[in-house]
Amino acid sequence: MLHKIDSGKIGPFGEPMEEAVRSCVHCGFCLAACPTYGELEQELDTPRGRIVLMKEVLEGGLEIEDALPHLDACLGCLACEPACPSGVEYRNLISPFRALAEDQRSRPLGEKVRRRLVSWTLPHPDRFRVAARMAGLVKPLAGVLPRSMRPMMDLLPSPLPPEQKLQERYEARGEHRATVALLAGCAQQVLDPDINAATIDVLTRSGVEVVVPREQTCCGALSWHVGDHRAAKEYARRNIEAFSKVDAVITNAAGCGSGMHEYPLILKGTDDEERAAELAALVVDVSVFLERLGGPGEIPDRGEEVTIAYHDACHLSNGQGVRSEPRRLLQRIPGVKVVELCDAHLCCGSAGTYNIDQPEVAASLGEQKARAVMDSGVMMVASGNIGCLTQLKMHLGRLDASIEVRHTIQILRDALNGI
């Protein structure tokens, strides 16, 4: 796309943003892949339309406040990237733009309070756990709370699972094959700590020593995707210091893995850019790592047939290009048949804090995904992201569906243990 963007005035983000705009040929292949276009049915709520809006703001021909409603509605699911024949790296445009826009925009007081509350709690497991417990006490009164607060209440499991403290090191069982560091995550430690326990169990069974650095922090993805560049840089820098001398950094939450892969962009133009690229190269989803090892070993045959639907987490499939590995892991389990969902490419509507920021669209997409799971006829659905799992549980529950929602690694752990 022709443009008049002066990338030098933008700063370190200028070159990748300019390249993303230049690569777009306005073909429209992204429209069918975009969930918000299906919901809002407006050209400006498509990747193509948003690219034009960002281009015009960067050129100085459009006020930023006129573009923001359409950009705020973007899930950041990146479904447009694999759909694009021109290879537009939309992620190099939307998140940097949000970061640049944050200092120029005005927000209502209620929105500022909500954002501050989320940024103060979600990235910090101890704070989030306390906040979640307090929220659980008032959850029965959610109907009389401000509308902006209700989605946060709805997403919390009831009751909250018990806390599971993580050791700093877990020895490999059998022959030592690798040493990895585990990103423990933030919300996941509170909402479903068993995912980390399952990850560690499967890895150590496979001859992998697992280190859980105490110095690690939030991956920064939540901050980055809502325009809080300062916080994202701080989290990235702290994790660069925390993760070292390992064969890989394992992630088991799609959003976290995708966020860490964006560290070179987050720290672009800083003294830490090269180290960010080195760390990003080590980051790998647990399903990919296990497949590289040749699988988790022999899985006992329980003589039962189970059909499992697999839901692609956007930041695993689109953000990291990981699609076949989780399916292959599930198919290694004797008696398991993996089925695909209708409109599998569409986001479930979780997308970090999107449930809180855009509750109507998030609810519609969540219900559609839950109905797709129900229509598949399965009794279990697997995914690789805590946000997706939470969204699926909530909407399947609302539809009174007795379908189990599990992380891929939990299913694999149980199979290895003969459960």
Q: Is 198 exposed, middle or buried (0-12, 13-18, 19+ CB in 10 A)?
A: buried
Q: Token pair of 277, please?
A: 């690229």
Final residue of a domain: which of 75, 102, 129? 102
Q: Where are the alpha helices (DSSP H) in 143-193?
A: 150-155, 187-191
List b or e across 30-67, with b for residues whose CB sees 16 or more CB atoms inside 10 angstroms.
bbebbbbbbbeeeebbbbbbbbbbbbbbbeeeeebeeb
Please report the DSSP string for 33-86 in residue order: T-HHHHHH--GGGSHHHHHHHHHHHHHTSS-HHHHHHHHHT-----THHHH-TT
Q: Is residue 143 a part of any domain in this protein? A: no
Q: Is residue 37 a part of any domain in this protein? A: yes
The answer, as to whether pTM is greater than 0.85, is: yes
* Angle formed at CA 174 by CA 333 and CA 205, multiple of 5 degrees: 35
Phi-psi region of 133 (alpha: psi -120 to 50; beta: other; left: phi over 0): alpha
CATH of the domain at 21: 1.10.1060.10
pLDDT of residue 139: 65
Do the bridges between strand 178-182 and strand 169-170 make them parallel or antiparallel, or are there none, so unpaired? unpaired
Structural domain total, the chain? 2
CATH of the domain at 353: 3.40.50.1860
Q: Is residue 285 a part of any domain in this protein? A: no
Q: Is residue 85 a part of any domain in this protein? A: yes
Each residue's pLDDT expressed in tens, for the chain with a length of 419 residues: 878 888 888 999 999 999 999 999 999 999 999 999 999 999 999 999 999 999 999 999 999 999 999 999 999 999 999 999 999 999 999 999 999 999 888 888 878 888 888 888 888 999 988 888 887 766 665 665 666 666 677 778 778 899 999 999 999 999 999 999 999 999 999 999 999 999 999 999 999 999 999 999 999 999 999 999 999 999 999 999 999 788 899 999 999 999 999 999 999 999 999 999 999 999 999 999 999 999 898 899 988 999 999 999 999 999 999 999 999 999 999 999 999 999 999 999 998 888 888 999 999 999 999 999 999 999 999 999 999 999 999 999 999 999 999 999 999 999 999 88
Final residue of a domain: which of 80, 102, 124? 102
pLDDT of residue 141: 58
pLDDT of residue 140: 64
To the nearest 10 degrees (0 to 180), the angle between helices 408-416 and 324-331 is: 20
**Where in the sequence is the domain holding 18, given as residue range(s)?**
7-102
CA distance 133 to 7: 47
Instruction: With CA atoms as reference, report the closest residue to 34 among 98, 1, 95, 83.
Output: 83
CA distance 145 to 165: 33
The values of phi and psi at residue 334, to 5°, are -55, 135
Q: Is residue 2 a part of any domain in this protein? A: no
CA distance 403 to 163: 25
pLDDT of residue 322: 97
Final residue of a domain: which of 56, 85, 102? 102
Cα 163 to Cα 83, 125, 187, 189, distances in angstroms: 41, 10, 12, 8
Q: Is 330 exposed, middle or buried (0-12, 13-18, 19+ CB in 10 A)?
A: buried
Q: Is residue 375 a part of any domain in this protein? A: yes
Q: Is residue 154 a part of any domain in this protein? A: no
Q: Is residue 361 a part of any domain in this protein? A: yes
379 within 8 A of 307, measured Cβ to Cβ: yes
CA distance 400 to 114: 30
* DSSP run (H or E) holding 263: helix 263-266
Kindly report the number of other CB atoms within 10 A of residue 238's CB atom.
15
Instruction: With CA atoms as reference, report the closest residue to 37 among 86, 75, 66, 9.
Output: 75
